[in-house]
Amino acid sequence: MGTDVVAASSDALTGVTSRDVAIDPSTGVSARLYLPSFRPAARVPVLVYFHGGAFVVESAFTPIYHAYLNTLAARAGVVAVSVNYRLAPEHPLPAAYDDSWAALKWVLANAAGSDPWLSQYGDLSRLFLAGDSAGGNIAHNLALRAGEEGLDGDARIKGVALLDPYFQGRSPSAARTWSFICAGKYPINHPYADPLVLPASSWQHLGASRVLVTVSEQDRLSPWQRAYYAALKGSGWPGEAELYETPGESHVYFLTKLGSPQALAEMAKLVAFINRD
């Protein structure tokens, strides 16, 4: 599961071109960039995407993520950067967080001139983070870190999209899974795993103007995803939070049912979230 890879290419269906870049050769962290076929006169949003897979499977280069990012880049009209971070158990947390932070900093540095797509077309005043499942967890934690530490230059995170994010309760099975992912370094009630333990003051550091949380009705994680949204709304955080629910579907259904009416409707919501202003 999640081990097959496809090469970067020009996608005939969407017209999107992709290419791979090395982020940090010392760790093997890399990314796949996506550029829509149009060549706009104005700059477009930059979307940094983190794949799911419970921190242990999948990559930015697997067929389902390559297809999803091709479609999303085309429909949203963004320069997308899909991050390929290291996986547990060989590289337990916080490796995925550190790798993703390094990738975000790479985007900021290379948009200043060295990467032709980012420097020519990217608008860092419209920087978005997004991810599904574990990638949603990463996007949340990076937004907190960005709010606490700041970002280089004039960049700011316009929005964060958490697609069926990987937040869960404290059951024995959840605790065992989490311990496996982080090699026992963090308890199940650590904010990495359960942001509901954050005091209201910590939510103020979420470094984004708006947040979209999507929930699939049959996802076993849906209670904690809704609770995340409620906690954010009730924290006094000054940004705008949105909740989007899809009835009758399970966890990250939109990856394997990309052309379904429900998946297309959810992607339309995400596209509107990115391009609203």
188-235 residue pLDDT tens: 999 999 999 999 999 999 999 999 999 999 999 999 999 999 999 999
pLDDT digits (tens, 9 = 90+) for 65-107: 999 999 999 999 999 999 999 999 999 999 999 999 999 999 9
Q: How do the domains of the chain map onto residue ranges? A: 17-275
* The model scores a pTM over 0.95: yes
In sequence order, what DSSP letters do the residues of 39-95 get, joined into one string? Answer: --SS-EEEEEEE--STTTS--TTSHHHHHHHHHHHHHHT-EEEEEE---TTTS-TTH
Fold adopted by 17-275: Rossmann fold (3.40.50)
Q: Does 259 have pLDDT greater than 80?
A: yes
Q: For position 170, what pLDDT does the model report?
A: 87
Euclidean distance between CA atoms 123 and 267, whole angstroms: 21
Query: Would you say residue 1 has pLDDT above 70?
Result: no
User: Residue 52 pLDDT more than 90?
Assistant: yes
Task: Give alpha helix (H) positions in the chain.
Answer: 63-76, 95-110, 116-121, 134-149, 172-182, 200-203, 222-234, 253-256, 261-275
Which residue of the set 18, 30, 59, 133 is catalytic? 133
Question: 153-182, pLDDT tens digit by residue?
Answer: 878 899 999 999 999 888 999 999 999 999
Contacts of 25 (CB under 8 A, 6+ apart): none
SS3 210: strand
Angle at 115 between CA 93 and CA 21, to 5 degrees: 45
For the question of residue 82 being annotated catalytic, the response is no
